Structure 1
Amino acid sequence: MLLYGRNPVLEALPAGRVAEVVLARGVEDAFARQVQDLARDAGVRVRWLPRIELDQLVGTTQHQGVVAEVEELQWATVDDILDRAEASGAPLLMVLLDGVTDPRNFGAIIRSAEVLGAHGVVVEERRSAPLSPVVAKTAAGATAYLPVAQTKNLPRLIDQLKADGVWVYGAAGEAAQDVTRTDFSGKAALVIGAEGEGMRRLVREKCDVLVSIPVRGQVQSLNASVAAGILLYEMTRSRGKSGGNK
Structure 2
Amino acid sequence: MKNETTIFGIRAIIEAIKSGETIDKVFVQKGVRSELFQELEHLLRQEGINSSYVPIEKLNRLTKGNHQGAVAQISPIEFHDIDNLVLKVIESGKVPLFLLLDQLSDVRNFGAIVRTAECTGVSGIIIQKKGGAPINGDTIKTSAGAIFKIPICKVDHIKDAVFHMQSSGIKVIAATEKASDFIYDISFKEPCAIIMGSEGRGINPSVLKVVDAQAKLPILGEIESLNVSVACGAFLYEAVRQRS
Given the alignment of the two structures, is residue 111 of structure 1 paired with residue 105 of structure 2, yes or no? no
Residue among 166, 170, 191 paired with 2:170: 166
Deviations 1:57-98 (A, max 9, x none): 999xxxxxxxxxx99322222135325523542111000011
Q: Aligned-pair distance for 1:160?
A: 2.0
Matched, 1:155 2:159: yes
In the alignment, which residue of structure 1 is the partner of 2:234? 230
Partners of 1:192 and 1:198 within 8 A in 2: yes
| Separation of aligned partners in 2, 1:71 and 1:208 | 32
Matches within 5 A, 1:121-160: 121-160=125-164
Cα distance in 1 for partners of 2:154, 2:139 equals 15
Match of 2:226, as an amino acid? L
Q: Which residue of the partner structure matches residue 91 of structure 1?
A: 95
Q: Distance in 2 between matches of 1:166 and 1:82?
A: 10
Deviation at 1:184, TM superposition (A): 0.9
2:194 equivalent among 180, 186, 190: 190
**SS of residue matched to 1:196:** coil
Q: CA deviation at 1:101?
A: 1.2
**Counterpart residue number, 2:220:** 216
Residue in 2 that maps onto 1:74:
78
- Long gaps (5+) in structure 2: 6-60, 65-73
The answer to whether the aligner puts 1:101 opposite 2:105 as a matched pair is: yes
Counterparts of 1:26-37 in structure 2, within 5 Å, are none
Aligned amino acid, residue 138 of structure 1: T
- Number of residue pairs matched? 177
SS at match of 1:206: coil
Superposed displacement of residue 179, structure 1: 0.5
Task: Specify the alignment match of 1:181 in structure 2.
Answer: 185
Structure 2 Cα separation of the partners of residues 163 and 86 of structure 1: 13
**Identity level (%):** 31
2:210 to 206, 213, 232: 206
The answer to whether the 8 A contact 2:126-2:161 is kept is: no
* Corresponding residue of 2:243: 239
SS of corresponding position for 2:209? helix
Does structure 2 retain, via aligned residues, the 8 Å contact 1:125–1:152?
yes
1:163–1:134 CA distance, 2 compared to 1 (3 A): same
Instruction: State the one-letter code of the partner of 2:172.
Output: V
C-alpha distance in 2 between matches for 1:182 and 1:210: 8
TM-score, length-scaled by structure 1: 0.66
Of the structure 1 ranges 133-142 and 87-96, higher mean CA displacement relative to structure 2 is found in 87-96
Say what the alpha-carbon RMSD is for the aligned residues: 2.3
Tell whether the 8 Å contact from 1:183 to 1:239 is kept in structure 2 after alignment.
Answer: no
Cα deviation code 1:181-229 (max 9, x no counterpart): 2211111000000112111111111111110011211112001111111
Corresponding residue number in structure 2 for 1:35? none
Q: Flag as ranges the 4+ runs of structure 1 deviating above 3 A.
A: 56-59
Partner of 1:194, secondary structure, is coil
Q: CA deviation at 1:162?
A: 0.6
